[in-house]
Chains A and B, each alone.
Chain A
Amino acid sequence: MKPPTDTLAAPAAEATDNPVAGIDQTKGDFSYNVAYAFDAGTGLSEDTVRYISSVKKEAPWILEFRLKALKKFLSMPMPTHWATKDLENINFDKIRYYLSQGQKPKRTWDEVPDDIKRTFERLGIPEQERKFLAGVEAQFDSEAAYSNIKEVVAKQGVIFVNSTEGLREHPELFKKFFAKVIPTGDNKFSALNSAVFSGGSFIYVPKGVKVAQPLQAYFRINAENFGQFERTLIIADEGAEVTYMEGCTAPKFSTSTLHSAVVELVALKGAKIQYITVQNWANNVFNLVTKRGIAHEEAEIKWIDCNIGSRLTMKYPGVVLKGRKARGEVISIALANDGQHQDTGAKMVHAADETTSNIVAKSISVGQGRSTYRGVVHIPKHLKGCKNNTECDALLINSHSRTDTYPAITVRGDRNFVQHEASVSKVNEEMIFYMQQRGLTEGQAMSLAVNGFINDLARQFPMEYSVELKRLIDLEMEGSVG
Chain B
Amino acid sequence: MSLAFSSAMSLTGSFTADVFAAHLASLPPLPDWWLERKRAAYARFAALPMPTRTDEAWRFSTITSLTLDGFSLPLPSPALPPATIGLPATAELAFVNGFLAAAVPLAAELRARGVIVDTLQHAFHHHEALIREYLLKQTARLGSAKFSALHEAFLTDGAFIYVPRGVELDQPIAVFHHSLTANGAAFPHTLIVAEDLARVTVLEYFGSSDDSQAQLAVGATDLYASHGAQITYVGKQDWSHRALSFHAHANVVRRDARIQSLNLHLGARQARHEALSQLQAPGAFSEMLALTVARENQEFDQRTLQLHQAPNTKSDLLYKNALLDEARTIFSGLIVVDQDAQKTDAYQSNRNLMLSEAAEASSLPGLEIQANDVRCTHGATSSRIDPEQEFYLQSRGIAKSAADELLTFGFFEEVLSRLTNEDLHDALRTLIQTKFKK
Interface residues of B in 330-344 (CB under 8 A from A): 339, 342
Whether a CB of chain A sits under 8 angstroms from the CB of B418 is no
Is B375 touching A411 in the complex (CB atoms < 8 A)?
no
Is B364 touching A399 in the complex (CB atoms < 8 A)?
no
Question: Residue among A82, A400, A408, A421 with the most chain B CB within 10 A?
Answer: A408
Q: B383: which A residues are within 8 A, CB to CB?
A: 416-419
Stretch of B119-127, B250-258, B353-361 at the chain-chain interface: B353-361
A42 → B minimal CB distance (Å): 32
Q: A409-B382, A419-B381 are in contact. Are A382 and B369 (CB under 8 A)?
A: no
Contacting A411 at CB < 8 Å: which of B54, B354, B371, B372?
B354
A382's nearest neighbour on chain B, judged by CB, is B357
Q: A81: which B residues are within 8 A, CB to CB?
A: 54-56
B145 → A minimal CB distance (Å): 16
CA distance A414 to B408 in the complex (A): 13
B340's nearest neighbour on chain A, judged by CB, is A399
CA distance A415 to B384 in the complex (A): 6
Is A426 touching B367 in the complex (CB atoms < 8 A)?
no
Q: B358: which A residues are within 8 A, CB to CB?
A: 382, 412-413
Whether a CB of chain A sits under 8 angstroms from the CB of B433 is no
B365's nearest neighbour on chain A, judged by CB, is A407
CA distance A402 to B365 in the complex (A): 17
Is A399 touching B365 in the complex (CB atoms < 8 A)?
no
Interface residues of B in 359-418 (CB under 8 A from A): 359-385
Contacting A424 at CB < 8 Å: which of B342, B356, B364, B376?
B376
Is A407 touching B363 in the complex (CB atoms < 8 A)?
yes
Whether a CB of chain B sits under 8 angstroms from the CB of A279 is no
A388's nearest neighbour on chain B, judged by CB, is B382
A213 → B minimal CB distance (Å): 40
Is B379 touching A400 in the complex (CB atoms < 8 A)?
no
Q: B44: which A residues are within 8 A, CB to CB?
A: none
Q: A426: which B residues are within 8 A, CB to CB?
A: 372-374
Is B370 touching A424 in the complex (CB atoms < 8 A)?
no
Whether a CB of chain A sits under 8 angstroms from the CB of B319 is no
B334's nearest neighbour on chain A, judged by CB, is A406
Is A410 touching B362 in the complex (CB atoms < 8 A)?
yes
A400's nearest neighbour on chain B, judged by CB, is B339
CA distance A408 to B363 in the complex (A): 6
B358 → A minimal CB distance (Å): 7
Is A413 touching B354 in the complex (CB atoms < 8 A)?
yes
Whether a CB of chain A sits under 8 angstroms from the CB of B99 is no
Whether a CB of chain B sits under 8 angstroms from the CB of A93 is no
Is A400 touching B370 in the complex (CB atoms < 8 A)?
yes
Type the 1/0 row for A384-427, where 1 means its CB is closer than 8 Å to any CB of B.
00000000001011111111111111111111111111111110
Contacting A420 at CB < 8 Å: which of B59, B354, B356, B379?
B379
Q: A419: which B residues are within 8 A, CB to CB?
A: 379-381, 383
Contacting A399 at CB < 8 Å: which of B368, B371, B379?
B371
Is A401 touching B372 in the complex (CB atoms < 8 A)?
yes
Is B342 touching A404 in the complex (CB atoms < 8 A)?
no
A429's nearest neighbour on chain B, judged by CB, is B373
Q: B55: which A residues are within 8 A, CB to CB?
A: 81
Is B367 touching A405 in the complex (CB atoms < 8 A)?
yes
CA distance A402 to B60 in the complex (A): 27
Is B382 touching A416 in the complex (CB atoms < 8 A)?
yes
CA distance A288 to B358 in the complex (A): 37
CA distance A416 to B362 in the complex (A): 13
Interface residues of B in 39-85 (CB under 8 A from A): 54-56, 59-60
Q: B60: which A residues are within 8 A, CB to CB?
A: 408, 410
Q: A414: which B residues are within 8 A, CB to CB?
A: 354-357, 359, 384-385
CA distance A399 to B337 in the complex (A): 12
Is B367 touching A422 in the complex (CB atoms < 8 A)?
yes
Q: B357: which A residues are within 8 A, CB to CB?
A: 382, 413-415
Is A402 touching B364 in the complex (CB atoms < 8 A)?
no
Whether a CB of chain A sits under 8 angstroms from the CB of B286 is no
CA distance A82 to B369 in the complex (A): 17
Is B369 touching A412 in the complex (CB atoms < 8 A)?
no
Is A397 touching B372 in the complex (CB atoms < 8 A)?
yes
Whether a CB of chain A sits under 8 angstroms from the CB of B352 is yes
Contacting B56 at CB < 8 Å: which of A82, A398, A424?
A82
Type the 1/0 row for A50-93, where 1 means its CB is closer than 8 Å to any CB of B.
00000000000000000000000000000001100000000000
CA distance A417 to B388 in the complex (A): 14
Is B354 touching A416 in the complex (CB atoms < 8 A)?
yes
Contacting A406 at CB < 8 Å: which of B366, B369, B374, B377?
B366
Is A423 touching B380 in the complex (CB atoms < 8 A)?
no
Is A407 touching B339 in the complex (CB atoms < 8 A)?
no
Is A423 touching B342 in the complex (CB atoms < 8 A)?
no
CA distance A134 to B368 in the complex (A): 36
Q: B361: which A residues are within 8 A, CB to CB?
A: 410-412
Q: A394-B369, A404-B367, A411-B352 are in contact. Are A417 and B374 (CB under 8 A)?
A: no
B354's nearest neighbour on chain A, judged by CB, is A414
B333 → A minimal CB distance (Å): 11
Is B377 touching A422 in the complex (CB atoms < 8 A)?
yes
Contacting A405 at CB < 8 Å: which of B59, B352, B366, B381?
B366
CA distance A398 to B359 in the complex (A): 43
Q: A398: which B residues are within 8 A, CB to CB?
A: 372
Is B360 touching A424 in the complex (CB atoms < 8 A)?
no
Is B365 touching A420 in the complex (CB atoms < 8 A)?
yes
CA distance A284 to B377 in the complex (A): 32
A82's nearest neighbour on chain B, judged by CB, is B56
CA distance A420 to B366 in the complex (A): 11
Is B372 touching A404 in the complex (CB atoms < 8 A)?
no
Is B368 touching A404 in the complex (CB atoms < 8 A)?
yes
CA distance A408 to B365 in the complex (A): 7
CA distance A10 to B197 in the complex (A): 53
CA distance A481 to B352 in the complex (A): 42
Is A409 touching B375 in the complex (CB atoms < 8 A)?
no
Interface residues of A in 338-374 (CB under 8 A from B): none
Contacting A410 at CB < 8 Å: which of B360, B370, B378?
B360
Q: A413: which B residues are within 8 A, CB to CB?
A: 354, 356-360
Q: A415: which B residues are within 8 A, CB to CB?
A: 357, 384
CA distance A401 to B371 in the complex (A): 7
Q: A382-B357, A408-B59 are in contact. Are A422 and B370 (CB under 8 A)?
A: no
CA distance A476 to B342 in the complex (A): 24
CA distance A389 to B366 in the complex (A): 17
A407's nearest neighbour on chain B, judged by CB, is B365
Is B382 touching A418 in the complex (CB atoms < 8 A)?
yes
9 A-B pairs with the lowest CB-CB distances in the bound complex, closest first? A396-B372, A414-B354, A414-B384, A405-B367, A411-B382, A424-B376, A410-B362, A426-B372, A412-B360
B: residues with CB less than 8 A from A are: 54-56, 59-60, 339, 342, 352, 354-385
A: residues with CB less than 8 A from B are: 81-82, 382, 394, 396-426
* Interface CB pairs A-B, < 8 A, 25: A382-B357, A399-B372, A400-B372, A402-B369, A407-B380, A408-B59, A409-B362, A410-B360, A410-B361, A411-B354, A411-B382, A412-B360, A414-B354, A414-B384, A414-B385, A416-B382, A417-B381, A418-B382, A419-B381, A419-B383, A420-B365, A420-B379, A421-B377, A422-B377, A422-B378
11 more A-B contacts (CB under 8 A) besides A411-B354, A419-B379, A423-B376? A81-B54, A382-B357, A399-B372, A406-B366, A407-B365, A412-B361, A417-B384, A418-B380, A419-B380, A422-B367, A425-B375
